[in-house]
Structure 1
Amino acid sequence: MRHHPFRGTALAVAALTAALSWTPGSAAAAPDPVPASAAAAPDPVPASTAAVQAVTFEDTFDGAAGSAVDGSKWQIETGDNVANHERQYYTAGNANAALNGQGQLVITARRENPGNYQCWYGRCEYTSARLNTAGRFTTTYGHVEARLKVPRGQGMWPAFWMLGNDIGDIGWPASGEIDVMENVGFEPSTVHGTLHGPGYSGSGGIGAAYSLPGGRPFADAFHTFAVDWAPDAITWSVDGTVYQRRTPADLGGRQWVFNKPFFLILNLAVGGYWPGDPDGSTVFPQQLVVDHVRVTTSDSGGGGGTTGTLRGLSGKCLDVAGAATANGTPVQLHTCNGSAAQRWTVGTDGTVRALGKCLDAAAAGTADGTRVQLWDCNGTGAQRWAYNASSNDVVNLPANKCLDVLDNNPADGTPTQIWTCSGGANQKWSLVT
């Protein structure tokens, strides 16, 4: 199976989420320890009452014909792409990406060069468009789908895909890439879903192909391309038919880099190493028509997942103070004791649960030092977490901050908080099943 080398990002670093950098923890003194066996719970801290859909995204492309896409959801990339030897120049605004007035986005590839654009090979021969949600929207886990009608013809290369939001800091392929759907024109009835990461990038990506029954071309009709993404597992489907599932076991010991925020990308490339260049049989213009893009996650408090202890600083466990179940009970560090107060389920719905309730950032705070507590599961952003089994980070998604042991203090009863991710030992947690 052939897979493409890296598509150049051509992204302004300022448009990406800010890099995670060292910031010292709070200087406040740690309070007296709360015994793991204590019965009393403190007064509850109110949880957020508004459902924060931090990992939910939808664009149905409603608007007047000829309008540009919603700039609060998408940014338009411009320029060429020497990395893949693609032939097009990606233009700004609505020149090659515009709404059609029927609830659809149309990305058009044309054989033209009205702006005298210059490409890696000289004067550009084609124009097209590429959009991404960097700086607007990222997601960790969920059901990610797009309903698309792909173009046809030799040299056409439409794609719906995702890149790790830390690409501006660590580069590609360390950032990871999830290709939800790619199609190359010489395979009209086949699409590909692929993972790229360190040691399995470019033509060495891990993936599979799916073909329509009877060799029907994908360009004849709309189809829904999706991934269902959970911690340590990604499943691909076309029109609801699952055709592959990948886990860290498929990587042969190489690093799984898909338990963190990613942003979305839509583009229509022309030519390149994988699809080959257009030829005399290719008819222009060609269009990638997008009916909708949608990301959904479960808001239930019981979303399945993996259960175990979360072991952190000095080998101690994440613990619900006093094994109490009252809303607002502090979540702390304590010597591991095998109790239910230390049994956490890292859910496929983005929750982290114990004693039937959810790990919660108090009052939906996103500032450094916001205390972490137990609260009724309510689907809010305060309860949306991403556990990265490779880096051992537990990240609150709306804040983009790490679960942190106050003042790097290993004493029993030390509270936890969210704090800017620093890579310190007081922010590292291992899920031990």
Structure 2
Amino acid sequence: MARRRSRLRTLAFVLAAVTAVGLTAVFVLPGENDRAEAAIGGIVWQDEFNAPAGNAVDQSKWRFDTGGSGWGNNELQYYTNSTSNAVHDGNGNLVITARRENPNNYQCHYGRCEYTSARLLTSATFTQAYGRFEARIKIPRGQGIWPAFWMLGDNIGSVGWPNSGEIDIMENVGKEPNNVYGTIHGPGYSGGGGITAARNIGRPLADDFHTFRVDWEPNSIVWYVDGSEYHRVDPGRLGGNRWVFDHPFFMILNVAVGGYWPGNPDASTQFPQQMLVDYVRVSRYEAGGGQPQPGTVRLRGAHSGRCIDIPGANPADGAKLQIWDCNTTAAQAWSFAADGTVRAMGKCMDPAWAGTANGTEVNLVTCNGNPAQRFTLSGAGDLVNISANRCVDVSGWNPNNGGKLILWDCHGGANQKWSRF
């Protein structure tokens, strides 16, 4: 079922960036694809919203986007920083309220605004790469109402959207009251190519509080509603496009009114509409635990007993791949993508300068669609570069930490044998 939406991901401190976001919703039944959870540590940031009734948002944690620009979607609301639109209720909740207003009070991009709401963000107060991002929320309801809990990359001011990346933890449109959507956007998979899924819980989300979360770690993001997984992505889902979820992101809470995806309010829509947020919590990611990251493998050499590794866990273009004591860091978490590439930390295993000769260094490079980046691991344990028809080999049969990888004629020796684990 195809759905169209668009959203302008703007910040108070950067230029506006317009996006047209299209969805193909995948409905997953409860319990399907439930897998092992990420390595999650203790809580490092939280807001429990326990301030007295009428108190404004804690500005040490949240700031506001304001204005009535339409936000790239022809949205109808004007975002304010007023306690009329974002306030503590005294019962342990933040309340974001969308209101019908006197249109003479607020000027919007298309004329006078009929609605106000609020959009809170942590761009100036808190960012983090990886971990668990979770909120317990009771969403609003009604045609044209569009609540969201989502994240943007903290480099949006320098690289723009979608290169910064976007993780939509929870979105709902009022015309689909039972459905929660989770989506990522990045270069080559934004607009109509946003990678998304939906969970239909069988009753309106607005009837009760629900927990919405992602567990995000190197090369994996997993979505949950009420503790049940319904969506999972890794670099292999990107069709050769670049994985940009390897740097800090910040969080956003908002309620939009109208727009291309939800449509506008109609006679059935009642105002005010409120989103109640019981808490927002962020936990740290903990590498280790003795297991490779979900969706990835380590590649261990038969001769050395050591694993293919990115030096210093620094995924810089041109990093010379090596062998190193096997561990569970992202530097050794490799995935075999559908396009034939072998990936870690968002980049691809690559023969230097697309070389095919004996001795060509095997490096880490931004995935670029060049056939030279395709490898296959045979049943015999040969990791073969398809373009060169040569094997990944450790230079000089070096069994020690730091031994460099090269391409060499396949000869069946232990120095060219690799196993997944």
TM bucket by the smaller chain? 0.5 to 0.7
Q: Deviations over 1:103-141 (max 9, x none)?
A: 100000000048721111101110000000002111111
2:346 maps to 1:389: yes
Change (3 A) 1:282 1:176: same
- The match for 1:161 is 150
2:230 maps to 1:243: yes
Aligned residue among 180, 187, 194 for 1:205: 194
Q: Deviations over 1:231-262 (max 9, x none)?
A: 11111111011111111111111111111111
Task: Report the residue type matching 1:266 in the other structure.
Answer: L
When the two structures are superposed, what TM-score results if normalisation uses the length of structure 1?
A: 0.64
Unmatched tracts of structure 1, length 5 or more:
15-52, 319-334, 354-386, 394-412, 415-431
- The match for 2:412 is none
- The match for 1:282 is 269
The 3-state SS of whatever aligns with 1:138 is coil
What's the CA shift for 1:145? Answer: 0.8
Which runs of structure 2 are paired with 1:340-379 in the superposition (5 Å)? 340=325, 343-346=326-329
Over aligned residues, Cα RMSD in angstroms?
A: 3.1
Task: Report the residue type matching 1:92 in the other structure.
Answer: N
Q: Distance in 1 between matches of 2:200 and 2:178?
A: 5
Change (3 A) 1:69 1:114: farther
Q: Deviations over 1:277-324 (max 9, x none)?
A: 001110000001101111113557536335444445xxxx88xxxxxx
The 3-state SS of whatever aligns with 1:255 is coil
Q: Distance in 2 between matches of 1:54 and 1:135?
A: 22
Moved more, 80-89 or 303-312: 303-312
Q: Distance in 2 between matches of 1:168 and 1:202?
A: 19
Q: Distance in 1 between matches of 2:9 and 2:105?
A: 21
Asked if structure 1 preserves the Cα contact closer than 8 Å seen for 2:143 and 2:268, the reply is yes
The 3-state SS of whatever aligns with 1:2 is strand
Asked if structure 2 preserves the Cα contact closer than 8 Å seen for 1:234 and 1:246, the reply is yes
Change (3 A) 1:263 1:303: farther
Task: Report the residue type matching 1:134 in the other structure.
Answer: S
Change (3 A) 1:141 1:339: closer
The 3-state SS of whatever aligns with 2:187 is coil
Q: Deviations over 1:310-339 (max 9, x none)?
A: 445xxxx88xxxxxxxxxxxxxxxx98845
Q: Distance in 1 between matches of 2:201 and 2:214?
A: 18
- The match for 1:76 is 64
Change (3 A) 1:302 1:126: same
Runs of 4+ in 1 over 3 A off after TM superposition: 298-301, 303-312, 335-339, 390-393
Q: Distance in 2 between matches of 1:203 and 1:77?
A: 26
Q: Distance in 2 between matches of 1:132 and 1:389?
A: 26
Percent identity of the aligned residues? 54
Q: Distance in 2 between matches of 1:336 and 1:256?
A: 19
Asked if structure 2 preserves the Cα contact closer than 8 Å seen for 1:56 and 1:139, the reply is no
- The match for 1:269 is 256
Which runs of structure 2 are paired with 1:1-400 in the superposition (5 Å)? 1-13=2-14, 56-82=44-70, 83-113=72-102, 116-213=105-202, 216-298=203-285, 302=289, 304-305=291-292, 307=298, 308-312=307-311, 338=323, 340=325, 343-346=326-329, 388-390=345-347
Change (3 A) 1:303 1:118: farther
Q: Distance in 2 between matches of 1:304 and 1:7?
A: 39
The 3-state SS of whatever aligns with 1:169 is helix
Task: Report the residue type matching 1:233 in the other structure.
Answer: S
Asked if structure 2 preserves the Cα contact closer than 8 Å seen for 1:150 and 1:287, the reply is yes
Q: Distance in 2 between matches of 1:56 and 1:309?
A: 32
The 3-state SS of whatever aligns with 2:170 is strand
Task: Report the residue type matching 1:189 in the other structure.
Answer: N
Q: Distance in 1 between matches of 2:228 and 2:121?
A: 26
Q: Distance in 2 between matches of 1:73 and 1:304?
A: 34
Q: Distance in 2 between matches of 1:147 and 1:311?
A: 38
Q: Distance in 1 between matches of 2:216 and 2:252?
A: 16
What's the CA shift for 1:202? Answer: 2.6
- The match for 1:358 is none
Q: Deviations over 1:56-111 (max 9, x none)?
A: 21110011111111111111110123311000000014230000011100000000
